[in-house]
Amino acid sequence: MENQPYADRREAGRLLAERLSSYAERDDLLILALPRGGVPVAYEVACALEAPLDIFLVRKLGVPGHEELAMGAIASGGVRVLNQNVLDMLPVPPAAIEEVAEREQVELKRREHDYRGDREPEPLVGRTVILVDDGLATGSTMRAAAAALQQEKTKRLVIAVPVAARETCDALRSEVDEVICVRTPRPFQAVGLWYTDFHQTDDEEVRTLLRQARQRKVVRVTGN
């Protein structure tokens, strides 16, 4: 199973939820997804654990001319994390880093309003937060999210992904309370290789899943 791809993100989320079953039905639990790809995974986790679902915005900072290569990331709250290994390999002038960061900050704010509208984000202080994405390669995006959340006085912070590079998982363990990586295949190469269906999650799918998660929460509260 370690080297078998998932059918899609929804299946990956259900299997990830099994590894997180000890957190089920906790009153302080919050599932945070990294949009876009993390949302279908996190939705399945939130359903299985009967927990609220919200998003946490992070934007990759791509190297100019090699945008697929992450030189770092920014997250809600003004946090910026740079990947020094990449910058040592492909030096980028500070002014160019600032230009990329400013552009991505505009997009981060646009998406936050697009996904959440005028709703306030779920409160974070004193919560047990499970931060979910569809996979980890370099981990720069997840590291930025974790750094931002550490400033929010959460009670416990857990990183949970269906698949990841083993080295990245190991490196993140010192930065949060717990890291759950269901599969760490070798060689890893790229997240998309470990999904049969890895279509791009679009904005409408994100909005739909967040709306469905809110409706499930209302039903649970009403049922109680």
Over 80: is that where the pLDDT of 123 sits?
yes
How far is the CA of 40 from the CAs of 34, 120, 142, in angstroms?
10, 21, 17
Over 90: is that where the pLDDT of 72 sits?
no
Over 80: is that where the pLDDT of 218 sits?
no
Residue 1's pLDDT band (cuts 50, 70, 90): low
- DSSP type of residue 61: E
| Mean pLDDT for the chain overall | 91
Half-sphere exposure of 204 (CA within 13 A, CB side): 0
Alpha carbons 22 and 19: distance in angstroms, whole number: 8
Alpha carbons 19 and 14: distance in angstroms, whole number: 9
Task: Write out pLDDT tens, residues 13-42.
Answer: 999 999 999 999 899 999 999 999 999 999
Alpha carbons 111 and 35: distance in angstroms, whole number: 9
Over 80: is that where the pLDDT of 121 sits?
yes
Question: Does residue 85 or residue 182 have the better pLDDT?
Answer: 182
pLDDT value at residue 219: 55
pLDDT value at residue 224: 54
How far is the CA of 32 from the CAs of 2, 16, 58, in angstroms?
25, 14, 12
